[in-house]
Structure 1
Amino acid sequence: MNIPRSSFPRIVIIGGGFAGIALAKKLRNKNVQVVLLDKHNYHTFQPLLYQVATGGLEAGSIAYPIRKVVQDYDNFYFRLAQVKEIDTETRKVTADIGDLYYDYLVIATGSKTNYFGNKEIEKNSMAMKTIPQSLNIRSLILENFEQALLTNDINERLSLMNFVIVGGGPTGVELAGALAEMKKAILPKDYPDLDVRKMEINLIQGTDKILDAMSPKASRKAEEFLSGLGVSIWKNVRVTNYDGKTVTTNSDLTFESATVIWTAGVKGAAIKG
């Protein structure tokens, strides 16, 4: 990795997210050598990914170059790398660009989408944890509306205009609201010869309230607001499968949809070792 030797202890930080960047700032110009590794050369402001997915913001608005953050830090090095494995016995990090030995290691790799072992859902649904994934969702939304204009099959058209969001946490709620705003203010102007009123936004939540981790009042207000925007909220419903066309649940409820966005949970982005 071409990291010079140092008489100071070497601290390796894996991950340039909120935690990794915050620690890097705390270690600025201390008597340590800091090496920050990340698979991207930019920091992503993840709370606004839904805005990129729905066209409210461009990707550059929520991405900031990591090198620009640390360019004035002494004895600090950034490497664009995908970490493959950690050997705690020899204190070695193995990445796609080579090996690196450390004195102290901080794993700040964040989380990734959790499909709870359902490979079919993982294969056919859309996730929204990165900027490329958000851009893919934006492209799919527009492609579906273009296709809806061309098809003469009513059922296919309705499927193309039916958006199913699985997971009523903050991400799912924000995304549902942003899609509803698109339906109200943007899509009718962009697609005047398409009956956008037939667009459906379905938010599916496995528990008895959305924003389950927040207060009952916040949950109730959010539900009222989304319902007012025309979002259909389904509570105490769990999605069991999605084959690319039909969403099946643990009840008799099914949805015909060309777009399923999975925001139903995350898990730690673990590294081998």
Structure 2
Amino acid sequence: MKMVIIGGGFAGLKLARSLNNRQDVEVLLIDRFNYHQFQPLFYQVATGGLDASNISFPLRKVFQESKNVRFRLAEVQKIDTGSQQVITDIGSFNYDVLVLAMGAGTNFFGNAALEANAYPMKSTTEALQLRHHLIQNLEDALALSNSTDLHRKLNIVVVGGGPTGVEVSGALAEMRNNILPKDYPELDFSNMDIYLLEGSPNTLGNMSEKSRSQSKKYLEKLMVKVRTNTVVQNYDGSDVTLNDGTTIPASTVIWAAGIKGNVPEGIDPTLIVRGNRIKVDRFNKVLNTNNVYAIGDISYMETPLFPHGHPQVANVAVNQGKNLAKNLLAQLKGSTAPWTQFEYKDKGSLATVGRNLAVVDIPKPKIHFGGFFAWVFWMVLHLLLIVGVKNRLQIFVNWIYKYFTYDQSLRLLFKEFDRHPIPKKAAPQS
């Protein structure tokens, strides 16, 4: 069996690893990045808490000892299901089975101004761009004397009260409260406001009532200005316009309010539903196809427990990859037993706000806890999910260092340089 997997995220990587070193299947993994990205910690890269390499792991290194998994760095341009080809910027690849696992990108809901001026955080590259912008703003603020301009330059607006929005708001607040006054003693950080805007009545809307109220209390403890039932209408790079007509001066808007699937050209448009997700059956097979599957954030599967589709979280993606591998391996072995339908068993949700501040919900048995123990639980779980022992050790050391020093040392500003400087004129010969 020749299988092509597009996407090296949680779903695609799990599937490829589950099929690793199988003699009866040849796997080609395609991704536009040559590394696996640990999305839950993008915000720590953006705020200087972790280095980009800590949460990124080379895909070729994962499969160094593999006899049947190969990798290609490519941008997928089109899927041709008729000829069973994946067309990329480096050529075309044939397949017997195709698995779409491209994940999701940022959804600006058609607002061109927001897309042009706000900062998304759905890749390591975008996290680094945001970090560069945040540090450059602080350097630029040193030259400002006008209080209005200074306030605008320092203000940060985070849009979206889900886990990403809550976590990045908390991290930014801790930077402002504990670190930046030491780095920039010339600046008065009472001029720096951090806003978290959420369109619904609560932050962490998919978690329990206790987690919602606790997360808001934690954010307010860190002096984050939380505004619920608030929708952003426009952002011109200078002022954020809200649904009630008011404005917030800010030179930084971080968009964490929505995601949409990265659907390639060639997929039947009638199979694409809200959020740019592809309709699949209970085995993750794309409807009306024989050998095309979609797993992870890009897939939309209706089940008795999740009639409106599964949540777009890492645990769903990993388990869909694992279940599809199980079914395909049974087929390769010649088993006539029916395939196993997928259903997500929710093991719980968690989010961290800051040092010693986190919330955890476990559905069975129904348990909620917050504070220090929830924060430790959050750290341990994320360390276990990180790919690579070295990455785990580096992250752990960074976290321990930050815990005892209230600081992190990755506020580096890398600027472009002229690769072809004008040569100096030779001195005139006497």
Q: TM-score, normalised by structure 2?
A: 0.61
1:84-95 alignment, distance < 5 Å = 84-95=77-88
Matched, 1:237 2:230: yes
Q: Paired residue for 2:17, among 11, 15, 25?
A: 25
Q: Percent identity?
A: 49
Report what 1:252 is aligned to: 245
Shift of 1:84: 0.5
Q: Distance in 2 between matches of 1:35 and 1:163?
A: 42
For 1:187, give the aligned amino acid: L
What root-mean-square deviation, in Å, do the aligned CA atoms of Structure 1 and Structure 2 show?
A: 0.7
Report what 1:198 is aligned to: 191
Matched, 1:126 2:123: no
Q: Distance in 1 between matches of 2:224 and 2:246?
A: 16
Shift of 1:253: 2.6
Shift of 1:159: 0.2
Matched, 1:210 2:203: yes
For 1:68, give the aligned amino acid: K
Report what 1:162 is aligned to: 155
Shift of 1:198: 1.8
Shift of 1:153: 1.5
Q: Paired residue for 2:44, among 33, 43, 51?
A: 51
Q: Secondary structure at the match of 2:33?
A: coil
Q: Secondary structure at the match of 1:143?
A: helix
Q: Distance in 2 between matches of 1:219 and 1:234?
A: 13
Report what 2:72 is aligned to: 79
For 2:99, give the aligned amino acid: V
Q: TM-score, normalised by structure 1?
A: 0.96
Matched, 1:37 2:30: yes
Q: Paired residue for 2:96, among 75, 100, 103?
A: 103
Matched, 1:262 2:244: no
Deviations 1:78-118 (A, max 9, x none): 00011100001111100000001100000000000000000
Q: Distance in 2 between matches of 1:140 and 1:34?
A: 39
Looking at secondary structure, tell me which structure has more strand per residue.
Answer: 1
Shift of 1:148: 1.2
Q: Paired residue for 1:150, among 130, 133, 143?
A: 143
Report what 2:181 is aligned to: 188
Q: Paired residue for 1:14, among 6, 12, 15?
A: 6
Could you list the runs of 5+ residues in structure 1 that have no partner in the other structure? 1-8
Report what 1:3 is aligned to: none
Q: Distance in 1 between matches of 2:246 and 2:163?
A: 24
Comparing both chains, which one has the higher relative contact order based on Cα–Cα distances under 8 Å and sequence gaps of 6 or more? 1
Q: Secondary structure at the match of 1:182?
A: helix
Shift of 1:197: 2.1
Deviations 1:55-84 (A, max 9, x none): 000111001000111111212110001110
Q: Secondary structure at the match of 1:225?
A: helix
Q: Distance in 1 between matches of 2:35 and 2:208?
A: 34
Could you list the runs of 5+ residues in structure 2 that have no partner in the other structure? 267-430
Report what 1:63 is aligned to: 56
Whether contact under 8 Å (2:150, 2:191) holds in the other structure is no
Shift of 1:143: 1.0
Q: Distance in 2 between matches of 1:196 and 1:175?
A: 18
Whether contact under 8 Å (2:156, 2:194) holds in the other structure is yes
* Residues paired across the two proteins, number: 265
Q: Distance in 1 between matches of 2:55 and 2:21?
A: 27
Q: Distance in 1 between matches of 2:220 and 2:247?
A: 20
Deviations 1:105-156 (A, max 9, x none): 0000000000000001000111101111111111111111111110112111
For 2:105, give the aligned amino acid: K
Q: Secondary structure at the match of 1:150?
A: coil
For 1:15, give the aligned amino acid: G
Q: Distance in 2 between matches of 1:244 and 1:19?
A: 35
For 2:210, give the aligned amino acid: K
Q: Secondary structure at the match of 1:267?
A: strand
Q: Distance in 2 between matches of 1:130 and 1:139?
A: 14
